[in-house]
C-alpha cells in the first residue's frame, strides 16, 4: 500500500480526497461521495466498511481504499491527500491477535508487525455424538464442559499475554471460526474491555499454530483498493 501511495503521489494531477470514518449513515456517505462518475457500488462499500474509507478521485486515479485501522474523522481535501493514510500505515500500533478454533488457540501481542508476546496451545474437545438416546445427551453435556474449560483456559492465557500491555494496546483482532470467537468473547469478561477497539475478524484462519500466528498479522495490516476506470 505504501508503494501504491508513492505511485499516486508521483503521478500528481488534480483530484479530491474524502476521508470517511465508519458508522456514517448511507445518506451521509452518498452526500460526501457526490463526485462525477462515482459508481453506486463504491458508495455502498464505503458505507458498509467497518474501518471507514478513503476515496481519491480525479482524472488520473479514481479509487476507494479500505484501511486496516479505523479512520477517526471525516475530512475533504481539494487534492490527492495521502498523508493521513500514510501516517496510519507507518505508525507502530500495538495489536493483540487472538486466533481460536475448538481445540486450538494462539494469542499474540504485536508492536507494529513484530511479535512481542505469544502463547499457543490446544485443548481436548470431543467431536459431536452422531447417535441419539440418553448416551448422546450425556456425551453432549460432557462436551459442553470440555468447551467451557477450554474457553476458561484460553481466556486466562489471553489475560496473561495482554494484561502487561493494557495501557498501550491500540486494537484487538480475532481470527478462526466465527461461532467460536463469539463464544470466547461471551465467556471471557477480560476481553470485554476492548470491545470499542476490535478490528474485523479473520474468519478463514486455519488451525491456530505458531506459524499461523506469526503470518496472520500481515492480514491485520492489509488494505483493500477498489479502482474505477473511465472507459469513455
What interhelical angle do 134-162 and 178-187 show, nearest 10? 70
Between 129 and 164, the higher pLDDT residue? 164
The pLDDT of 90-109, averaged and rounded, is: 96
What is the reported pTM? 0.87
* Angle, vertex CA 187, rays to CA 182 and CA 188, nearest 5: 100
Q: Is the pLDDT of residue 220 over 90?
A: yes
The pLDDT of 150-175, averaged and rounded, is: 96
Q: Is the pLDDT of residue 232 over 50?
A: no
Q: In which band, very low, low, confident or very high, does the pLDDT at 108 lie, cut at 50, 70 and 90? A: very high
The overall average pLDDT reported for the chain is: 89
3-state SS class at 176: strand
Share of the chain above pLDDT 70, in %: 90
**105 within 8 A of 191, measured Cβ to Cβ:** no
Tens digit of pLDDT for each residue in 203-219?
889 999 999 999 999 99
Q: Is the pLDDT of residue 28 over 70?
A: yes
Q: Is the pLDDT of residue 8 over 90?
A: no
Between 132 and 5, the higher pLDDT residue? 5
Q: In which band, very low, low, confident or very high, does the pLDDT at 7 lie, cut at 50, 70 and 90? A: confident
* Confidence at residue 146, expressed as pLDDT on a 0 to 100 scale: 86
Domains of the chain with CATH codes: 2-90 (3.30.960.10), 94-220 (3.30.420.60)
* Angle, vertex CA 90, rays to CA 88 and CA 92, nearest 5: 90
Long-range contacts of 115-118 (CB under 8 A, 24+ apart): 115/213, 115/214, 115/217, 117/161, 117/164, 117/165, 118/161, 118/210, 118/213
Place of cell 484487538: 172
Amino acid at each position: 500500500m505504501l508503494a501504491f501511495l508513492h505511485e499516486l503521489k508521483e503521478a500528481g494531477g488534480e483530484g479530491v480526497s474524502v476521508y470517511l470514518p465508519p458508522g456514517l449513515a448511507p445518506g451521509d456517505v452518498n452526500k460526501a461521495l457526490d463526485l462525477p462518475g462515482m459508481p453506486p457500488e463504491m458508495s455502498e462499500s464505503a458505507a458498509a466498511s467497518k474501518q471507514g474509507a478513503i476515496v481519491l478521485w480525479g482524472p488520473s486515479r479514481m479509487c476507494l481504499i479500505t484501511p486496516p485501522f479505523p479512520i477517526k474523522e471525516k475530512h475533504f481535501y481539494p487534492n490527492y491527500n495521502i498523508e493521513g493514510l500514510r501516517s496510519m500505515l507507518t505508525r507502530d500500533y500495538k495489536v493483540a491477535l487472538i486466533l481460536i478454533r475448538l481445540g486450538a488457540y494462539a494469542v499474540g501481542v504485536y508492536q507494529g508487525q513484530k511479535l512481542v508476546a505469544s502463547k499457543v496451545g490446544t485443548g481436548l474437545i470431543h467431536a459431536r455424538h452422531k447417535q441419539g438416546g440418553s448416551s448422546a445427551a450425556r456425551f453432549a453435556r460432557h462436551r459442553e464442559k470440555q468447551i467451557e474449560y477450554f474457553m476458561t483456559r484460553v481466556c486466562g492465557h489471553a489475560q496473561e499475554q495482554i494484561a502487561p500491555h493494557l495501557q498501550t494496546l491500540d486494537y484487538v483482532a480475532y481470527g478462526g471460526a466465527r461461532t467460536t470467537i463469539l463464544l470466547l468473547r461471551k465467556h471471557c469478561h477480560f476481553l470485554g474491555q476492548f470491545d470499542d477497539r476490535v478490528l474485523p475478524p479473520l474468519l478463514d484462519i486455519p488451525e491456530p499454530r505458531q506459524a499461523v500466528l506469526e503470518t496472520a498479522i500481515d492480514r491485520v495490516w492489509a488494505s483493500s483498493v477498489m479502482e474505477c476506470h473511465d472507459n469513455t
